[in-house]
Structure 1
Amino acid sequence: MSKIDTSLFSGQHSGPAEEACPACGKPLQLRHGKHGAFLGCSAYPGCDYLRPLKVIEHDEDVEKLLKGSTCPLCGHTLAIRKGRYGLFIGCSHYPECHYVADINDQGNSDPACPVCEKGHLVARTSRYGKRFYACDAYPGCRYIVNDKPVAKPCPECGFGILTERKGRLCCPKKGCGYQQ
């Protein structure tokens, strides 16, 4: 006696009744593409109708609504959302409003860039999810530092910032080995 249901492996399809293509009337077929399964017309080269099986809902990525906060662009409430690079704060009316704020930003003043002295070092996230700090005058200045910058000059070499690494302050300038 087998515990396997043989009807699962038969060639018979016991799913919902076949749907007709709204464009040409031929039956729709289940197809698979790089973005997942979809329904496509069986008369494909002549009729290119297709429909995704799963309707994309933008509310699926909402973790929590932030009561008492308003979007500066449209006035709706803000929400903590889950995205490709982790959590972020965005407008609850996403397709209409594209406001986004970083969840790690607590309103700290960013230190001035020690190289160009025009921009400020702002927190960025790489495509791999790692955090780094780069000058916001980007194409003109390409200064980047991996550790969190502190707006104190180095007492040894006079470089414009120090970085916070493992609980101590270090000078990010090459050749200067200052640590506090």
Structure 2
Amino acid sequence: MSKIDPSLFSGQHGARPDEPCPRCGQPLHLRHGKHGAFLGCSAYPDCDYLRPLKVIEHDEDVEKPLEGSACPLCGHTLAIRKGRYGLFIGCSHYPSCHYVADINEQSSNEPPCPVCAKGRLVARTSRYGKRFYACDAYPGCRFIINDKPVAQACPKCGFGILAERKGRLYCPNKGCDHQQ
């Protein structure tokens, strides 16, 4: 007597032989789609019943609740969550509440934009997880810099900011080679 279930190797892709379609009574078959495996009715296209095998829950992406913090929209607890572009802070009652905050620290001493002088250079994160600094007056101003800006004017050319890379300050203005 074998301990292996022969129905696993029968070549027929079925869910379980005893599980009928709840709509029409035909057997359900295992199918594969771009979102993973699912059970579909064998009478397709006459019956379009399907059921995903993996149950999608929104609580899977909650990393850690932030105790003592409240959502400004609904008042529930905020949580550090994992999303498509990395970690972010969001309301724990998603999808009822869609509040999202950037996990990168935003300080009040952000230097002014040297190009438009209207906006401030704020930290942003690219879709690949890299940090960069851009003017918050976008799309009116498209100034962007990869290194951390420092609110000091360049002594050589007078450009509004200096940038810090590996502990050294340099002027990000094209054509200026000033370094400290």
Question: The TM-score by the shorter chain falls in which range?
Answer: 0.7 to 0.9
- Could you tell me how far apart the structure 2 residues matched to 1:135 and 1:161 are? 13
Q: Please, which runs of 5 or more residues in structure 1 have no aligned partner?
A: none
CA RMSD of aligned residues (A): 2.2
How far does the alpha carbon of each residue in 1:11-68 deviate from its partner, in whole angstroms, 9 at most, with x for none? Answer: 1779644433233332221110111111112111222222211111111111111111
- How far did 1:94 drift? 1.2
Q: Which amino acid aligns with 1:158?
A: G
Structure 1 range deviating more: 55-64 or 23-32: 23-32
Give the corresponding residue for 1:20. 20
Give the share of equivalent positions with the same residue, in percent: 77
1:149-178 Cα shifts (integer Å, max 9, x gaps): 122211111111111111121111011111
Paired residues in the alignment total: 176
Query: Paired residue for 1:176?
Result: 176
TM-score calculated relative to the size of structure 1: 0.87
Q: 5+ residue gaps in structure 2? A: none
8 Å CA contact 1:148, 1:165 repeated in 2: yes
Tell me whether 74-83 or 5-14 shows the greater mean CA deviation.
5-14
| Amino acid in the other structure paired with 1:55 | V
Q: Is the 8 A contact 2:15 2:30 kept in 1?
A: no
Aligned to 2:147: 147
Kept after mapping to 1: 8 A contact 2:106/2:123: no
| Mapping of residues 115-154 of structure 1, within 5 Å | 115-154=115-154
Task: Give the Cα–Cα distance (whole angstroms) in 1 for the partners of residues 67 and 105 of structure 2.
Answer: 18
Q: Which aligned segments of 4 or more residues in structure 1 are displaced greater than 4 angstroms?
A: 5-9, 12-15
- 2: distance between equivalents of 1:110 and 1:123? 9
